[in-house]
Amino acid sequence: MDIVQNVKLAIENWSRSEMQDEWYFTSFREGLINNMDEQEAYVGIDEIIPLLLDVKNDYVFSEVIEIMMELVRKSNTTEIPPRLRSNWRLISNTAKTHGGYAVSRFDELEQFYRI
């Protein structure tokens, strides 16, 4: 199963839960990303972008951007993946529609890539 399908499944499982556990996505991220190598994480950044842009729920958006941030860290490079570069402004504008936390995480991404 690829990263996008894993993330979609995690979102579905979290959404269906009667008690939406605040640690659910933290555990999910650790399990998903700890098993990746740097190249897989780098590729995963671009793969997750369409999902990030499609999310409507503010909390879920913040969790998907957290997943992307973990992939960025795991990739261990400041080279911006192509899809991320080409969608930078769109992602920035989308983050602004999801509130302050999403904006602050995107700001962190800008700092990481020195943009």
- Domain definitions of the chain by residue range: 3-113
Q: Which two tokens stand for residue 14?
A: 């979290």
Contact 72, 32 (CB under 8 A): no
Give pLDDT, residue 15. 83
pLDDT in tens, 59-105: 899 999 999 999 999 999 999 999 999 999 999 999 999 999 999 99
Distance (Å, whole) CA 7 – CA 3: 6
Under DSSP, is residue 76 helix (H, G, I), strand (E, B) or coil?
A: coil
Residue 1 pLDDT more than 80?
no
Contacts (Cβ under 8 Å, ≥6 apart) of 8? 51
pLDDT at 20: 67
Asked whether 83 and 42 are in contact (CB, 8 A), the reply is no
Q: pLDDT tens digits for 4-58?
A: 998 998 888 888 876 667 788 888 888 889 989 999 999 999 999 999 999 999 9
Which pLDDT belongs to residue 104? 94
Q: Whole-angstrom Cα distance, residue 115 to residue 113?
A: 6
Reduced to 3 states (helix: H, G, I; strand: E, B; else coil), residue 38 is: helix
